[in-house]
Amino acid sequence: MIEKLILIENIEPIDFYGINNKKFNKMVGYFPKLKIIGRGTEIKVAGEESEIIRFEEKINLLIDYYHRFNKLSEYTIEKIMEEDNGDFVETVKIETDVILYGNKGRAIKARNKTQFQMVEEINTNDLLFAVGPAGTGKTYLAVALAVRALKEKQVRRIILTRPAVEAGEHLGFLPGDLKEKLDPYLQPLYDALTDMIPYKKLNDCFEEGVLEIAPLAFMRGRTLANAFVILDEAQNATSAQIKMFLTRMGENSKFIVTGDLTQIDLPNKKSSGLLKAVNILQDIQGISILNFNEKDIIRHRLVRNIVEAYEKNND
């Protein structure tokens, strides 16, 4: 008889073991000859070597399935445990247009022609500009692409940034310290992340520096290598800020810049750096510039009508 310790990494224990260990008990039931104890991120198993090897293979298949689909049901446990060589994992229907599976296994995919183009373009270009009206899903899709790159280990970290420019408000009037003043500006990025990464794992990623959200001003002087970096609301960045941001790009990095040129909140007499950037960089190889329009809006149907109405009135 031998003993072995199997680690369950990057999975919230309750998602793997189930409430009151219901899922874990089902796994254990398929190996009556083994003594198996699961606590936290560790599974201790004792018994014949051949049985332990078979048990570990099945556990690894369950872990792979969870990482791929962000869920693990009792039905899936049964199928993986009962079929040889993890055939169930390989034969599960995986939609080719799915970018990744978010929380509870929800499929996240491109939802219109321009979004599909954005997915294709980031695969072949290291810098992409996504410009267009609110509601077209530019930021959400950019975050999904970043999370996918992190999960597939194409990059080591994700950095999300926005310029801290007030839309009719002033930072000084907001309560709290600097972080609390800035959080409202960064909330859309938090919202997208919480759709795609389990809450506990998300907190761990922030603590470990795998995920970072910071105001644009904090980017100065840095070299961002092995990272997927998103600059959101770039219409509110000056030309100097955009140049500063783009020149942070290091080796093995992907940059996405999103913005809406109809919602510039910069002070009077200051032009948007985003407008200048898309004009002077459009002919450089390796840079992709996509223009979304009101037909790409995927929010409530009234959002498209509102955008069209404002465009007709040049406001």
User: How would you write 100-152 as a 3-class SS string?
Assistant: EECHHHCEEECCCHHHHHHHHHHHHCCEEEEECCCCCCHHHHHHHHHHHHHHC
Predicted pLDDT of residue 15: 87
Is residue 179 predicted with pLDDT exceeding 60? Answer: no
Q: Model-level pTM greater than 0.85?
A: no
Range 150-178 average pLDDT:
71
Give the rounded distance of the alpha carbon of 130 from its chain centre.
Answer: 17
Q: Which residue has the higher pLDDT, 46 or 87?
A: 46
Per-residue pLDDT at 92: 57
pLDDT band of residue 253 (cuts 50, 70, 90) is very high
Is the pLDDT reported for residue 202 higher than 80?
A: yes
- Range from 80-89, 157-166, 192-201, 304-313 carrying the lowest mean pLDDT: 80-89
Of 35-39, 208-212, 292-296, which range is least confident? 292-296
Reply yes or no on whether the pLDDT at 196 is more than 70. Answer: yes
Look up residue 21 and give its two tokens: 């260990």
Tell me what pLDDT residue 167 has. Answer: 44
